Amino acid sequence: MTPPKHGPHPSASEVFEILVRQNGDMLTAFLRSLVKRSDLVDDLFQETMLIAWRRLDDYDRSRPFGPWLRGIAGNLVLAHRRQSGRDLLNCDPAILEGLEKCIRNFESTPADSFRDRLQQLRLCMDKLPERMRDVIDLGYGRGMLVREIAIAVDAGAEAVKKRIQRARQLLMDCLQLPGEAP
Amino acid sequence: MNNSNRNDHNVDGDMFPETDDSKASEEQVKHVASQQFIHGLLSFIHSDDESRQNRRYERLMEAIDQEESLAILKPRRIYWRIPSAIAAGILLMLTVIFLSIPTEQSAYAMVQASIDASESAGDRRYEVLITHKPGNEQFQDLHAIIDIRDNNHVVIRADTPDGGQLVVGHNDEGRWAIRQDGMIERFRPDRAWPKWINLGDSTVLVESVDDLLRRLDGYYRLTQGEPEQLDDNQELLYERVTAELIKREGPDPERIELWIDPATHIVQRMELRWPSQQRNRDNSIRQYDSLPQGELDPNGPPRPGERRDPNGRPPHMGRPGQDRPPPRREQHDPNKPPRPGEHHNLDGPPPPHHGRQGPDRPPPRFIDGPPRFGEGRHPPPPDVIVFNRVEAPGFPQDWFDPERHVK
């Protein structure tokens, strides 16, 4: 990608590139919370950003860019659900709204960037009880299926699912997002 | 050597039940949303390192650039004023553009077919030669061997200029490397595996053929070439793809040449090429300055009996049919299965005349992040890295475990 030229009047694409880089990580995480397949995440990311580029004139610059992007992405996810309905997690409008609240709370925590904020989550992961940290590591770090994790930790598949859900809840609590009860 | 294919959130399954808007309580919605929110963050941490994200940005800005260039053709109101000769010229240009698209699409399809085939190809071995142009003899040619079973089972063993061997790999437990002190180092799964190694004289990209293939889409413009023979099989015409770096910035090779087996779609040969000016931008030029007069030519004086390639390619690195493939090391029999004890020193130390050696030589070091050649922060890349597929021996079951490679 061509680095922005530091002239007195940056071009529209240069401004857009800055906005993309500032908001791309959060958009990706948002898509990952709704989409199962990585290649679909890539496609929806690209499509969202291209639509945003084409409609940049519609963007109200007095408002933050991230929620606008996620609005476009949410619509694309819903369109994909209407077309095929596959490879998606729960993307009911109420869930999309709930996700948006979570993200806004997350973004309001003091940090310079999204990746800096993730550091807090990493600290919380370190605090998880070992058996929960294990299933998170196996599931997300090594991409193992629930049944594979169950064999690895010598537990039933349902127990593993519960353990992962409980771990996620503990992580959410640990983040202590503003507006969320600890 | 990433495990992104396994990271498509296999732990989601049916763990996020559908919520009926009309019936779900606010608490239920909040619970599911927070579960998916954390799921998204965890997936991002483990799957989307900066290089992957940069690839998305590159792909996006490339598409935007294309849209912008097409937009220049949009003001149709003035088309009727264009003299017919110019209109015909534009039409001809557009025809050429459209004719070129299938070639590009075919190249992408070939690479995609190769990626797909490599996932089920089974055990493969590539011999690797890292080399420099004639005249750069002060940089030592290096050899490596890459053994691949699948995305998660890879071992790379490379000679280093100090006479040692670098061994990195990937097994069921993730990425690992054998440190200089013989200890096993495992890389955190949420961090990118460092791909560049500072060898002192040069900075070398250490990556498997399959991972390189996966990186082509987005960073490179692919074009299909005429099928070609390779020296090791005169009867077979290999499919040819040339990949050229879209944005000629950063440390990636400027051009990648591929020879793909038309029957199996497996890459038979891959050449990575860096531009010579990338070497000249950094402090390596000072080493040329210290050479005797007459060797200041970047290609150096011709050696006795040397047939110089007009493109500056070393004689053994040229295209098939014109030159020879990189020589195999005589000491190493690729058909011979690896034996315990053989692994850490594949073919013995390089001959004494190769490169600087001795205790004063710094050991190879992984670089955190991409190297900075232009700023002279790291030694230059090699001129060419060639991967040649050879017959793979039957790898032992534990061949991809680091313990197998510890001295």
Share of residues in chain B with pLDDT > 70 (%): 53
**The pLDDT of residue B399 is above 50:** yes
Question: Are A89 and A136 found together in one domain?
Answer: no
- By residue range, what is the domain housing residue A122? 112-182
pLDDT of A26: 95
Residue A170: CB atoms within 10 Å: 18
Within-domain flag for A151:
yes
Within-domain flag for A42:
yes
Within-domain flag for A3:
no
Number of domain units in chain A? 2
Question: Are A103 and A129 found together in one domain?
Answer: no
**The pLDDT of residue A143 is above 90:** no
- Burial of B322 from C-beta contacts in 10 A (0-12 / 13-18 / 19+): exposed
Residue B184: CB atoms within 10 Å: 15
Amino acid at B126: Y
The residue among A15 and B133 whose pLDDT is bigger is A15
Within-domain flag for A116:
yes
3-state helix, strand, coil in chain B (%, to 5): 30, 25, 50
Separation between Cα atoms, residue A1 and residue A64, nearest integer Å: 24
- Burial of B268 from C-beta contacts in 10 A (0-12 / 13-18 / 19+): buried
Question: How is residue B183 written in tokens?
Answer: 């200890």
Which of A83, A108, A133 is the C-terminal boundary of a domain? A108
pLDDT of B59: 87
**The pLDDT of residue B153 is above 80:** yes
Question: Are A68 and A155 found together in one domain?
Answer: no
Global pTM?
0.45
pLDDT of A80: 86
Question: Are A87 and A104 found together in one domain?
Answer: yes
- For residue A115, give Cα distances in angstroms to A28, A120, B1, B148: 12, 9, 23, 33
pLDDT of B119: 77
**B183 Cβ neighbours under 8 A, 6+ residues apart:** none
**The pLDDT of residue A36 is above 80:** yes
Question: Are A96 and A124 found together in one domain?
Answer: no
Q: What is the mean pLDDT of residues B174-178?
A: 82
Question: How is residue B376 written in tokens?
Answer: 């002279």
Within-domain flag for A137:
yes
Which residue among A1, A99, A164 sits closest to B58, beta carbon to beta carbon? Answer: A1
CB–CB contact A95 B29 (8 Å): yes
Question: Are A20 and A91 found together in one domain?
Answer: yes
Within-domain flag for A23:
yes
Question: How is residue B132 written in tokens?
Answer: 């420099």
pLDDT of B69: 67
Which of A108, A131, A152 is the C-terminal boundary of a domain? A108
**The pLDDT of residue A65 is above 60:** yes
Question: Are A102 and A89 found together in one domain?
Answer: yes
Residue A151: CB atoms within 10 Å: 12
Q: What is the mean pLDDT of residues B307-320?
A: 37
Instruction: Please report residues of A whose CB lies closer than 8 A to that of B30.
Output: 98
CB–CB contact B15 A32 (8 Å): no
Per-residue pLDDT of B49-63, as tens digits, reads: 888 898 899 889 888
Which of A58, A87, A108 is the C-terminal boundary of a domain? A108
pLDDT of B276: 67
Q: How many residues does chain A have?
A: 182
Question: Are A86 and A99 found together in one domain?
Answer: yes
User: To 10 degrees, what angle do helices A65-83 and A12-32 make?
Assistant: 60
Average pLDDT over chain B, rounded to whole? Answer: 67
pLDDT of B257: 93
Question: Are A16 and A87 found together in one domain?
Answer: yes
Q: What is the mean pLDDT of residues A56-71?
A: 86
Helices marked H in B48-118: 50-71, 84-118
Within-domain flag for A6:
no
Cα Rg of chain A, angstroms? 19
Separation between Cα atoms, residue B233 and residue B245, nearest integer Å: 29
Instruction: Please report residues of A whose CB lies closer than 8 A to that of B9.
Output: 32, 36, 140
Which residue among A20, A28, A94 sits closest to B24, beta carbon to beta carbon? Answer: A94
Instruction: Please report residues of B whose CB lies closer than 8 A to that of A169.
Output: 34-35, 38
Question: Are A98 and A138 found together in one domain?
Answer: no
Instruction: Yes or no: say if A88 and A35 are a contact pair by the CB < 8 Å rule.
Output: yes
Task: Chain A: give the shortest CA distance to residue B353, in Å.
Answer: 42
3-state helix, strand, coil in chain A (%, to 5): 70, 0, 30
Q: What is the mean pLDDT of residues B86-99?
A: 49
Q: Indicate which CATH number applies to the domain containing A64.
A: 1.10.1740.10
Within-domain flag for A104:
yes
- CA atoms A144, A146, A147, A152: torsion sign: positive
Which residue among A93, A164, A171 sits closest to B15, beta carbon to beta carbon? Answer: A164
Residue of A nearest to B247 (CA): A1
Question: Are A25 and A100 found together in one domain?
Answer: yes
pLDDT of A134: 93
Which residue among A16, A99, A106 sits closest to B33, beta carbon to beta carbon? Answer: A99
Question: Are A68 and A37 found together in one domain?
Answer: yes
CB–CB contact A32 B19 (8 Å): no
What's phi and psi for B397, nearest 5 deg?
-55, -40
Separation between Cα atoms, residue A135 and residue A151, nearest integer Å: 11
Instruction: Yes or no: say if B102 and B271 are a contact pair by the CB < 8 Å rule.
Output: no
Q: Indicate which CATH number applies to the domain containing A170.
A: 1.10.10.10
Q: What is the distance of C-alpha B296 from the center of its chain?
A: 30
